[in-house]
Amino acid sequence: MATIHLTLAPFLLLAAIFLSTEVTAQPAAPAPGPAGPINITAILEKGGQFVTFIRLLNTTQIGKQINIQVNSSSEGMTVFAPTDNAFQNLKPGTLNKLSHDDQVKLILYHVSPKFYTMDDLLSVSNPVRTQATGRDGGAVYGLNFTGQGNQVNVSTGVIETRVSNALRKERPLAVYVVDMVLLPEEMFGEHKISPVAPSQNPNHLLSPMTQTTPLRKRRFRPRSLGPVR
């Protein structure tokens, strides 16, 4: 028996060396390729509850312009995405009563031409510019942010709601969920602004802001929304 064990030992050693060499020779897993271009529609589709907002981004061409801008510049953007429930909770006919240009302004009002983290929104100077700012003869179309800790609230002068979880929070694009449609005071408040002629160039819906004068601050009285659920 001892002789058999001694005879097999060299073969077992050679087999172990062969297997070890074969495992070592296996090619390393390929490194992950570069991330693809940012696509706001894909981000929202992954969230699973933004069918209406996606449709409006497509019909107004704003979704396409967001993709172009965040993939070709370093300015960054922030999108506040209302859920399908948020649109369902609007008064019946609210969207259908809006002209195409008003729908464009409404969606632009949900987009800020700057990248904001949640911490930024807690300390930002109000009102915050949106992509609708400056339309209708230089109207404000701004958003007001308040909150403390991990809770951030946004007010338009017509509604106030929480800024919920982030669908995306990496530069250059942040996408935050809101549970109400952000209705601008300039369109839905007591003193509506008469619309001016719409822009004739849809490719410049998201042109960079060139206005340097400060936004006119309007009186804003935040109200408590209770603890976050």
pLDDT tens for 125-161 read 999 999 999 988 888 999 999 998 889 999 999 999 9
pLDDT score of 149: 83
What is the residue-averaged pLDDT of the chain? 81
Q: How far apart are CA 65 and CA 220, in angstroms?
A: 31
pLDDT score of 190: 78
> 143: Cβ–Cβ under 8 A, 6 or more apart, which residues?
80, 109, 112, 126, 127, 128, 130, 154, 155, 156, 182
Q: Which of 202, 203, 157, 154 is nearest to 180 (CA)?
A: 154
For residue 83, count CB atoms less than 10 angstroms from its CB and return exposed for 0-12, middle for 13-18, buried for 19 or more: buried
Q: Residue 30's Cα: distance from chain center in Å?
A: 31
Determine what percent of the chain is predicted with pLDDT higher than 70: 68
For residue 78, count CB atoms less than 10 angstroms from its CB and return exposed for 0-12, middle for 13-18, buried for 19 or more: buried
Q: Is the pLDDT of residue 76 over 60?
A: yes
Q: Where are the domains of the chain?
A: 40-189
pLDDT score of 61: 98
Q: Is the pLDDT of residue 228 over 70?
A: no
Q: How far apart are CA 150 and CA 134, in angstroms?
A: 31
Average pLDDT over residues 34-49: 92
Q: Is the pLDDT of residue 2 over 80?
A: no
Q: Is the pLDDT of residue 30 over 70?
A: no
pLDDT tens for 154-202 read 999 999 999 999 999 999 999 999 999 999 999 998 766 555 544 444 4
Helix (H, G, I), strand (E, B) or coil at 176: strand
Q: Is the pLDDT of residue 221 over 90?
A: no
Q: Is the pLDDT of residue 59 over 50?
A: yes
Average pLDDT over residues 84-111: 97
In whole angstroms, how large is the CA radius of gyration of the chain? Answer: 27
Q: Is the pLDDT of residue 117 over 90?
A: yes
Q: What are phi and psi of 96, to 5 degrees?
A: -65, -25
Q: How far apart are CA 96 and CA 45, in angstroms?
A: 23
User: Homologous superfamily of 40-189 in CATH?
Assistant: FAS1 domain (2.30.180.10)
Q: Is the pLDDT of residue 31 over 90?
A: no
- Residue 36: pLDDT band by 50, 70, 90 thresholds? confident
Helix (H, G, I), strand (E, B) or coil at 129: coil
- Other Cβ atoms within 10 Å of 153 Cβ, number: 19
CA atoms within 13 A on the CB side of 213: 7
Do 114 and 75 meet the contact criterion of CB atoms below 8 Å apart? Answer: yes
Please count the helices (runs of H) and the strands (runs of E) in the chain: 9, 6
